[in-house]
Amino acid sequence: MTLPDFVSVPGLSGIRFQVDYRLTGDREEAAAKAQDICIEQTVEFPAELVPAGDIRQHIFGRIESLEPDGPDAFLARISYAAEVATTELTQVLNVLFGNTSIKPGVRIERLYLPADFLAAFRGPRFGVPGLRDLLGVHDRPLLGTALKPMGMSAEALAELAYRFALGGVDVIKDDHSLADQPFCRYEDRVARCAEAVARANRETGQRCLYVPHVSSTADGTLQRALFARQAGAGGVMVCPGLTGFDTMRLLADDDRLDLPIIAHPALIGSFTTSPTSGIAHDALYGQLMRLAGADATIFPNYGGRFSFSVEECASIAAGCAVEMGHFRPIFPSPGGGMSVDRVADMSRLYGRDVIYLIGGGLHRHSPDLVENARHFSRMVRQAAGAG
Amino acid sequence: MTLPDFVSVPGLSGIRFQVDYRLTGDREEAAAKAQDICIEQTVEFPAELVPAGDIRQHIFGRIESLEPDGPDAFLARISYAAEVATTELTQVLNVLFGNTSIKPGVRIERLYLPADFLAAFRGPRFGVPGLRDLLGVHDRPLLGTALKPMGMSAEALAELAYRFALGGVDVIKDDHSLADQPFCRYEDRVARCAEAVARANRETGQRCLYVPHVSSTADGTLQRALFARQAGAGGVMVCPGLTGFDTMRLLADDDRLDLPIIAHPALIGSFTTSPTSGIAHDALYGQLMRLAGADATIFPNYGGRFSFSVEECASIAAGCAVEMGHFRPIFPSPGGGMSVDRVADMSRLYGRDVIYLIGGGLHRHSPDLVENARHFSRMVRQAAGAG
């Protein structure tokens, strides 16, 4: 019994995007894995039951190439029809890695999203040039820090923010642990910290940005971001692993918000804990964060509390700037157990377009937080050779 | 310079919840990792700079026990104050695994969420008893299938749904690949498939549920679910890895929707691809899905296209029913390359409270899909000894 419309699929433009998957195994195993991905990520149906026609020819994923990638691994470039992924980010992620994420020995290495596919996405609203314009800082790396520890009152966190801003920090974000706890309510904290940073800016003449953490319920994150805007915040931080990537995209696309967005990696770590599964650092922290509208992407720096290598961190910085249609490059923002005395070394790796994120370490230099921030500033300017 | 309010934290109830983390290494390494988690998941701040007081005593995570767990691994039970996690699911996930997800060699094994913590969460609205009541089926496992392949028209998919419902399938869901593609629009598909299943129900006297896939934009998923309700769907399927877990919770909590929710694992696979990192199968597919309101949880069955072991699948089924305050048990729904002739074997593992999910395999038995569904039904009844 033949089912209707099994062969003809209307509305296909011919536009395809490509994904590099790294597959462990010998050539035969890798070829089988690549073929499996073509089916698993699209029709998820016994291929032998699909007759010749549009489904087989266009809806199936297509192996464009299969090349060795080191010992016992291959790189498969697989293409998908744009219409399969639609213009909704959830479905794009679904096609890229939905079911295949469950399979060990398959890792997304790189996305190749053509300009005509990316045209449906706004991408980073500010990116490097826009964030630099907001700050009025064009000649050096940016200084970032975090308000913490959780448990402090909104008033105390605002006092921290004031001192860091006075000392010359450019971007002062909430620690991602700060939500809407009973001992430090979101709205109270944001209002106080925004005011404190504005007060410091009036004294310094600088344009330090306060960036609260807005991840909240599915129907509350945008509201939290709009409150931040109204309270005078200079950006918002989102954890797409907690909210879903599309919530970040929603914020980036909202003209009422119109603020830079910093992505934080909470709960996305499992994509990179295995070297042979998950999503490569540059594709995840660079390309996917840009696709979801981030203007800066926080990740654990090499040599801190986390395990990312120098090469992985360099790849993230590259992913922040790699060609992606009309998308702007974004700021890599390495952090996680950093100290000011590592700035010179980091400077060699990251160059100028970076936000150095030093949180707890900024409390360590001396008890004078304003002076600690100034010291941070001096070290960055010195390393950047910008005086 | 002492900062204000650094010591006293008001509003702590004393309620704590616990998490078992599996840590690789010898006792010394594991103890260091456990201590690191206590800080990383809470204050993320140099512990030595925090004076004695409420932050140190209550806000820090606390190691409750550290026991060997096989060779070269330990199980650390760590507790957190309820107020740190708040009653927002995003922040609960943040505390459970936010930054620590990035660290290899740490795996969440089990959550211990006390009843007074879970009281803030609705949990599964239907669960096993509620879904059984909807279907009027109490004495046997449930039969599930998926509408596919992607590329078929809404009309053709509705014809499939009709035949499967006629053959006695209980739950007919969209394949998770079906979104709102130009060749098969969401609203058209849902209206047609709901009508087709209702028509079959009138003929059979059964109450088969059509369950469309509703994952969409951050502000569109709930709308899609509400459309499904209005069109006559009997449930909705969500991929929390695509939408964020809290979007599923939002749907589960919405009294206007009031439909069972089936969770699909797209994009959450990286949590389980490493045996020593990520989140254990039962905690992820059982406990977290229930916390986020799922009434049934789809996962890859052992022996199919995926790599889950028999023991991992059994643990998921256990996690679907493990004590969690006022929460109902939910249905495990193993799928992924299953065929009808495996039902007898699966029956021994899963018992009666299971939704067998056979998708492509249901097209293989013969060209007559109604007869294939009847065969599936006979095999399930036979294996369950329910005639």
User: In chain A, which residue's Cα lies nearest the Cα of B44?
Assistant: A149
A287 pLDDT exceeds 50?
yes
pLDDT in tens, chain B (387 residues): 455 556 789 989 999 999 999 999 999 999 999 999 999 999 999 999 999 999 999 999 999 999 999 999 999 999 999 999 999 999 999 999 999 999 999 999 999 999 999 999 999 999 999 999 999 999 999 999 999 999 999 999 999 999 999 999 999 999 999 999 999 999 999 999 999 999 999 999 999 999 999 999 999 999 999 999 999 999 999 999 999 999 999 999 999 999 999 999 999 999 999 999 999 999 999 999 999 999 999 999 999 888 899 999 999 999 999 999 999 999 999 999 888 999 999 999 999 999 999 999 999 889 999 999 999 999 999 998 854
Q: At B62, is the secondary structure helix, strand, or coil?
A: strand
Among B360, B237, B255, B251, residue whose Cα is nearest residue B298: B237
Does A152 contact B at CB distance below 8 Å?
A: yes
A:308-347 residues touching chain B, CB 8 A cutoff: 336
State how far residue B7 is from chain A, nearest Cα, in angstroms.
8
- In terms of Cβ atoms closer than 10 Å to its own Cβ (0-12, 13-18, 19+), residue A7 is middle
CA distance B351 to B317: 10
CA distance B118 to B98: 20
> What DSSP character marks residue A181?
B
> What DSSP character marks residue A47?
G
Among B240, B264, B235, residue whose Cα is nearest residue B250: B240
CA distance A32 to B340: 25
State how far residue A292 is from chain B, nearest Cα, in angstroms.
12
Tens-place pLDDT, residues A51-87: 999 999 999 999 999 999 999 999 999 999 999 999 9
Q: Are strands B261-263 and B296-300 parallel, antiparallel or unpaired?
A: parallel
Say what the pLDDT of residue B304 is. Answer: 81
Tens-place pLDDT, residues B147-197: 999 999 999 999 999 999 999 999 999 999 999 999 999 999 999 999 999
Mean pLDDT, residues A124-152:
97
Q: Which residues share a beta bridge with B131?
A: none
State how far residue B34 is from chain A, nearest Cα, in angstroms.
14
- In terms of Cβ atoms closer than 10 Å to its own Cβ (0-12, 13-18, 19+), residue A354 is buried
A304 C-beta neighbours (distance < 10 Å), count = 16
CA distance A303 to B55: 27
Angle, alpha carbons A148-A152-A157 (nearest 5°): 60
Q: How confident is the model at residue A6 (pLDDT cuts 50, 70, 90)?
A: low
A195 C-beta neighbours (distance < 10 Å), count = 16
B79 C-beta neighbours (distance < 10 Å), count = 17
Across the beta sheet with A261-263, what order do the strands follow? A236-238, A261-263, A296-300, A331-335
Quickly list DSSP for B104-173. TTEEEEEEE--HHHHTT----SSHHHHHHHHHT--SSPEEEEEE--BTB-HHHHHHHHHHHHHTT-SEEE
Among A263, A267, A266, A304, residue whose Cα is nearest residue A285: A263
Q: Do B88 and A368 touch (CB under 8 A)?
A: no
Q: Do B273 and A104 touch (CB under 8 A)?
A: yes
Name residue B168's amino acid.
G
A180 pLDDT exceeds 70?
yes
CA distance A154 to B230: 45
Among B354, B364, B374, residue whose Cα is nearest residue B200: B374
User: Which residue in the list A264, A281, A365, A375 is annotated as catalytic?
Assistant: A264
Residue A381: in which H helix or E strand, if any? helix A369-384
- In terms of Cβ atoms closer than 10 Å to its own Cβ (0-12, 13-18, 19+), residue A67 is exposed
- Among B91, B156, B364, the residue with its CB nearest the CB of A6 is B156
State how far residue A231 is from chain B, nearest Cα, in angstroms.
22
* Residue bearing tokens 């698993």: A40
User: In chain B, which residue's Cα lies nearest the Cα of A269?
Assistant: B102
Full set of structural domains in chain B with CATH: 16-118 (3.30.70.150), 127-384 (3.20.20.110)
> What DSSP character marks residue A329?
P
Among A213, A287, A300, A40, residue whose Cα is nearest residue B90: A213
A322 pLDDT exceeds 90?
yes
Residues 6+ apart with CB under 8 A from B233: B190, B193, B194, B209, B210, B211, B212, B259
How many CA atoms lie within 13 Å of A350's alpha carbon, on the beta-carbon side?
32
Among A139, A109, A128, residue whose Cα is nearest residue A19: A109
Q: For chain B, report the end-to-end CA distance as a whole number of angstroms.
A: 78
ipTM reported for the complex, 2 dp:
0.97
Say what the pLDDT of residue B1 is. Answer: 42
Torsions phi, psi for A263 (to 5 deg): -95, 135
Q: Are B332 and B347 in contact (CB under 8 A)?
A: no
A:156-185 residues touching chain B, CB 8 A cutoff: 156, 159-160, 175-177, 179-183
User: In chain B, which residue's Cα lies nearest the Cα of A361?
Assistant: B46
Among A84, A64, A85, A78, residue whose Cα is nearest residue A107: A78
- In terms of Cβ atoms closer than 10 Å to its own Cβ (0-12, 13-18, 19+), residue A14 is exposed
Secondary structure percentages of chain B, helix, strand, coil, to 5: 40, 20, 40
pLDDT mean across residues, chain A = 96
A2 pLDDT exceeds 70?
no
A4 pLDDT exceeds 80?
no
B:33-72 residues touching chain A, CB 8 A cutoff: 36, 40-46, 49-50, 54-55, 58-59
Q: Are B9 and A155 in contact (CB under 8 A)?
A: no
Q: Are B270 and A278 in contact (CB under 8 A)?
A: yes
Q: Which residues of A touch B160 (CB under 8 A)?
A: 3
A104 pLDDT exceeds 50?
yes
B:226-265 residues touching chain A, CB 8 A cutoff: 239, 241-244, 246-247, 249-250, 265
CA distance B258 to A50: 37
Model confidence pTM above 0.90: yes
Tens-place pLDDT, residues B308-358: 999 999 999 999 999 999 999 999 999 998 889 999 999 999 999 999 999
Q: At A21, is the secondary structure helix, strand, or coil?
A: strand
Residues 6+ apart with CB under 8 A from B331: B127, B128, B131, B142, B295, B296, B297, B320, B353, B354, B355
> What DSSP character marks residue B181?
B
Cis peptide before A260 (omega within 30 of 0): no
A239 pLDDT exceeds 90?
yes
> What DSSP character marks residue A327?
P
Q: At A361, is the secondary structure helix, strand, or coil?
A: helix
CA distance B316 to B307: 14
Torsions phi, psi for A240 (to 5 deg): -65, -25
Residue A146: in which H helix or E strand, if any? strand A142-147
A384 pLDDT exceeds 90?
no
